[in-house]
A and B are shown apart, each in its own frame.
Chain A
Amino acid sequence: MLLLLGPAFILFVGFVLIPIAVAVYYSFFKWSGFGHLGHTVGFANYRRAIKDTVFDHAVVHNVTIALLSLFIQLPLSISLALLLNRRMRGRGFLRLVVFAPYVLSEAVTAVMWLMLLQPHGFVDHLFRAVGLGGLVTTWLANTHIVLYTLFVVVTWKYIGFGIVLLLAGLQGIPVEIREAAALDGASPWQTTRRVTLPLLGPTIRIWIFLSMVGSLQLFDIVWIMTLGGPAGASTTMATYLIDKGFQSYEFGYGSAVAVILFMICFVFALLYQRFALRRDTAGALTERVR
């Protein structure tokens, strides 16, 4: 039995848990990543992170992406899923197409959009073709716009996953329930609002969980498209962390930032599991993580 469990246990401890423990340890030192650690600096690294406006902005950017996902991407996904949840020609094809961006790597997605968003490129051309040429800007170099540009790219990549997930959820809701509501005189809108959406609750709550964790750890797309720039206008916690560690060789400080990011993820996940997902007695993550 130990022989069965042992290898997985060792791998898991060695490469998942020890790194976190190591980060906690290094976070108390001012360390360039090489040579002796020197004296501990206590919580100085943590204080520095909290005071650093660049890091604060990074947190704001992550939260902005999370909120945009919640208030734009989610309603859009739900509306599309509700619309598409009917017998249609080409349903299978549609499912294939809508899910495709999700299987692409974030890296190739980022490079693709980087090319499409080039000045005088595809996107600019498209705007001009439909008479919105006045809106054209340097999508990735305009400090006021860049975060929203990235949000659009993230949405392009992930919305299909949400739609397919929600469609699967909708298919778990028997037609008879809607029909019964209709017989009782509910309008289609009322049925959707009072019957379908509440029954879709568990799926929506899982979507929110995945989306929030995803928003908190946003890295690949941002790193490839903007490196967090221009002038820190699209820095996320993860790009800030990698920047401090590997561009400025501040491994002690970087570790402290990693611990903060880890704590945010961990606390969010635990609270969300406890208060939001626990209601969903029907399987889902709660069942497993308890």
Chain B
Amino acid sequence: MTSVAAANPTLTTRPPRSGSPIATALAYFAGVVIVVVTVVPMLFIFIGGFRTTAQINGSPTALPHPWIWANYRVILTSSSFWRFLANSAEIAFVATALAVALGSMAAFALSRYNFKGREAVYAFFTIGLLFPLTVAALPLYLVLRDLGLLENKFGVAIPEAAFSLSITIVILRPFMRAIPTELEDAAVVDGASKLGFFWRILLPLSGPALTTVAILAFVTSWNFYILPLLVFNKTGDFTLPLGVATFQSQYSFDTARVFAFTFLSMLPTLMFFVVAERRIIAGLTGAVKG
């Protein structure tokens, strides 16, 4: 976000050094409450996975006694969990690759070529920001059916990529525009074609923005529920969000196993998040702030 501080680099933007002691105490208190409210539910699910359903029914909030590894072991040695994981990964990978590849090509055309109707085409792509895929899910299903893309991973990945195009182009275009023309002229003088400039210079320079849009597309696809729900009928095709919901309704009598499965489904996301925290937060919040 362009702010007062950005316009005037001499101003300080770090958080205030101190406040009243009461406010500081209150801040720590709020921090602790936030951590407890966020972490305890997940921890409860995690630990609950080490109990048996009989233990849970006997005393819902006690610690495991004894600790049971069976729930986690059974799930991790069964094929379905890994299957869901692989399906999610495949679809997210295809959706991300498509969105980034096609989005960066379009953003390049919209930022470094002059042609009639360029702004109109750009505005056209931004329509996608105004409504979410959920709204279009039912008609999209009909289109996919006519195209024979039901029960097909591409039937999920392609529309996800299409809906990610708007934000991809919106983030990439200003970024590519900001790269000086002199650089392009120099490349041309050195014998690069326009496409050579795009491939060898512009794309590498757009690295940070490309990472942002890739993370956005990947996380969106990874977490998507409604489209796989409509497209897939066979459990073997399910993605993780769909799988966890199905597992819950299938094994609703076995609370401990559902706990274990639920925690295992969160784990890949949480691990990815801890590893790439800075990029992810910057990407997901930056995407809306510009």
Enumerate chain A interface residues (CB-CB to B < 8 A).
1, 4-5, 7-9, 11-12, 14-20, 22-23, 26, 33, 80, 83-88, 90, 94-108, 110-116, 118, 120-122, 124-126, 129, 156, 160-161, 164-165, 168-178, 188, 199, 202-203, 206, 210, 213, 217, 219-220, 223-224, 238, 241-242, 245-246, 251, 254-255, 258, 261-262, 265-266, 269-270, 282-285, 287-290
Give every chain A residue within 8 A of B60 (Cβ-Cβ): 120-122, 124-125
Give every chain A residue within 8 A of B14 (Cβ-Cβ): 87, 171, 175
A selection of 10 A-B contacts at a CB cut-off of 8 Å is A11-B162, A11-B165, A107-B240, A108-B244, A113-B41, A165-B288, A172-B5, A176-B11, A217-B135, A282-B3
Q: Given that A106-B241, A118-B255, A165-B285 are contacting pairs, would A94 and B41 also be in contact in the complex, using a CB cutoff of 8 Å?
A: no
Decide if the interface of chain B is mainly helix, strand, loop or mixed. helix
A30 to chain B: closest CB distance in Å?
A: 15
Give every chain A residue within 8 A of B124 (Cβ-Cβ): 12
A103 to chain B: closest CB distance in Å?
A: 5
- The closest CB in chain A to the CB of B261 belongs to A111
The answer, among A171, A242, A284, A285, for a CB contact under 8 Å with B15, is: A171
The answer, among B121, B135, B259, for a CB contact under 8 Å with A5, is: B121
B52 to chain A: closest CB distance in Å?
A: 15
A283 touches B1 (CB 8 A): yes
- The closest CB in chain A to the CB of B274 belongs to A96
The 10 A-B residue pairs with the shortest CB-CB distance, nearest first, are A172-B3, A107-B241, A105-B223, A174-B11, A15-B162, A23-B139, A8-B106, A19-B139, A283-B290, A4-B109
Taken together as a complex, chains A and B put the C-alpha atoms of A160 and B280 apart, in Å, by 14
A283 touches B130 (CB 8 A): no
B130 to chain A: closest CB distance in Å?
A: 4
Identify which of A84, A108, A174, A290 gathers the most chain B CB atoms within 10 Å of its CB. Answer: A108
B16 touches A213 (CB 8 A): no
A103 touches B1 (CB 8 A): no
A12 touches B128 (CB 8 A): yes
A12 touches B162 (CB 8 A): yes
Taken together as a complex, chains A and B put the C-alpha atoms of A173 and B5 apart, in Å, by 6
Q: Is B232 an interface residue (CB 8 A)?
A: no
- The closest CB in chain A to the CB of B224 belongs to A105
B143 touches A19 (CB 8 A): yes
Q: Given that A94-B35, A99-B281 are contacting pairs, would A86 and B24 also be in contact in the complex, using a CB cutoff of 8 Å?
A: yes
Taken together as a complex, chains A and B put the C-alpha atoms of A11 and B158 apart, in Å, by 8
Interface residues of B in 1-26 (CB under 8 A from A): 1-6, 8, 11-20, 23-24, 26
B289 touches A206 (CB 8 A): yes
Decide if the interface of chain A is mainly helix, strand, loop or mixed. helix
Give every chain B residue within 8 A of A284 (Cβ-Cβ): 1, 289-290
A93 to chain B: closest CB distance in Å?
A: 8
Enumerate chain B interface residues (CB-CB to A < 8 A).
1-6, 8, 11-20, 23-24, 26-28, 30-31, 34-35, 37-39, 41-42, 44-45, 48, 57, 60-61, 98, 102-103, 105-106, 108-110, 113, 115, 121, 123-132, 134-143, 158-159, 161-163, 165-166, 169-170, 174, 219, 222-226, 230, 240-242, 244-245, 248, 255, 258-259, 262, 265-266, 269-270, 272-274, 277, 280-281, 284-285, 288-290
B131 touches A285 (CB 8 A): no
Taken together as a complex, chains A and B put the C-alpha atoms of A199 and B3 apart, in Å, by 9
Give every chain B residue within 8 A of A177 (Cβ-Cβ): 4, 11
B106 touches A9 (CB 8 A): yes
The answer, among B6, B39, B136, for a CB contact under 8 Å with A258, is: B136
Q: Given that A111-B258, A164-B285, A169-B1 are contacting pairs, would A101 and B38 also be in contact in the complex, using a CB cutoff of 8 Å?
A: yes
A223 to chain B: closest CB distance in Å?
A: 8
B222 touches A213 (CB 8 A): no
A282 touches B1 (CB 8 A): yes
Q: Given that A19-B142, A173-B3, A174-B13 are contacting pairs, would A262 and B129 also be in contact in the complex, using a CB cutoff of 8 Å?
A: no
Taken together as a complex, chains A and B put the C-alpha atoms of A254 and B242 apart, in Å, by 22
- The closest CB in chain B to the CB of A178 belongs to B16
Give every chain A residue within 8 A of B39 (Cβ-Cβ): 97
Give every chain B residue within 8 A of A18 (Cβ-Cβ): 143
The answer, among B16, B37, B61, B162, for a CB contact under 8 Å with A175, is: B16
Give every chain B residue within 8 A of A175 (Cβ-Cβ): 11-16
A273 to chain B: closest CB distance in Å?
A: 8
Give every chain B residue within 8 A of A26 (Cβ-Cβ): 139, 142
Q: Given that A12-B128, A12-B165, A175-B14 are contacting pairs, would A285 and B290 also be in contact in the complex, using a CB cutoff of 8 Å?
A: yes
What 6 additional pairs, Cβ within 8 angstroms, besides A8-B106, A168-B285?
A96-B274, A115-B248, A116-B44, A206-B289, A258-B136, A258-B137
Give every chain A residue within 8 A of B125 (Cβ-Cβ): 8, 12
Give every chain B residue within 8 A of A122 (Cβ-Cβ): 41, 44, 60-61
The answer, among B163, B255, B274, for a CB contact under 8 Å with A115, is: B255
B61 touches A242 (CB 8 A): no
The answer, among B2, B241, B288, for a CB contact under 8 Å with A282, is: B2
Give every chain B residue within 8 A of A19 (Cβ-Cβ): 136, 139-140, 142-143
Q: Given that A11-B98, A14-B162 are contacting pairs, would A115 and B259 also be in contact in the complex, using a CB cutoff of 8 Å?
A: yes
A8 touches B143 (CB 8 A): no
A269 touches B130 (CB 8 A): yes
